[in-house]
Amino acid sequence: MRIIKRKKGINEYYYLQHSVRLGRKIVTKEKYLGKIVPANIKERMLKLKKEMPGNLNKKLEMIKRHFQAEWKKIPESAKRKEKEEISISFTYNTNAIEGSTITLEETREIIKDQISPNKPLRDISETEAHNLVFLEMFGQKKAIDNKRLLDWHKKIFEKSKPDIAGKYRDYLVRVGDYLAPDWQEVKGMMNNLLEFINSSKINPVELSARAHYRFEKIHPFGDGNGRIGRLIMNDILWHKKYPMIIIEYKKRMSYYKALQRDEDGFASYFIRRFLSIHKKRYLRAH
């Protein structure tokens, strides 16, 4: 969703524009705002979303309901195994995106069999630690706050990157062409982000997308931001009763490109991926 400005003669007019994908088509709807952007713009945005055909929130809620019904039927012993398999897949993909040399099968051996491959110790320790943090996240329904994020980061990187583990950066960083905000702004920006995460009323799938995007743009750590950001998005989904989403290493290019868009563009990409991944649950819910 975006605000666009059009010129007619010497006058300028504002419109609210929102697009959704329905099958192979993209449907766009606009609302006239006037010569100035009104103070109640957020209310206007929510209203326009509800007016869109094929309301996304309804689809997402159906996926949630079907997933919860499915999960409740699984015996506790089977749930533990399923969580372990999710952790193996998530740990492999999130680390591979960041350059880890550990394969999926090696990730399984490290986690399930405690067998270490002939690979860099850094990659092995990050695999072991990430798995423990991820499984811990499953069982902890807590507000996401600075202490928790710093703890995740410290646990994952205390062996491989002890000089930066568990600390927000106090220096400038650049990611490709993107220059992250000045380090002196990091704490304030993180506080704003955490307030948004813990008070927002938007659908949790959209919230996880926007939280991940904003976190990556702040880039609060010297390294490991991608992994912590993907933990945040799945913490939100899981504890709001939604199935998780794993950004696959083999599909990382579309993920990178989406992160280069604006926030609405990334949220649109994320929600489409979520619907695609959980399509069977949505179809069976009909």
Write down the pLDDT at residue 43. Answer: 80
Rounded distance between C-alpha atoms, residue 280 and residue 271, angstroms: 15
Listed as ranges, residues in the chain with pLDDT below 50 are 53, 285-286
pLDDT in tens, 164-219: 999 999 999 998 888 999 999 999 999 999 999 999 988 999 999 999 999 999 99
Rounded distance between C-alpha atoms, residue 152 and residue 114, angstroms: 21
Residue 182 token pair: 């000045």
Rounded distance between C-alpha atoms, residue 135 and residue 145, angstroms: 18
Helix (H, G, I), strand (E, B) or coil at 142: coil
Write down the pLDDT at residue 31. Answer: 81
Residue 209 token pair: 């997308």
Query: How far is CA 186 from each of CA 25, 37, 115, 274, rounded to the nearest angstrom?
Result: 40, 29, 39, 29
Write down the pLDDT at residue 285. Answer: 47
What domains are there in the chain, each with its CATH number? Answer: 2-54 (no CATH), 57-284 (1.10.3290.10)
Write down the pLDDT at residue 24. Answer: 58
205: phi then psi, degrees, rounded to nearest 5: -70, -45
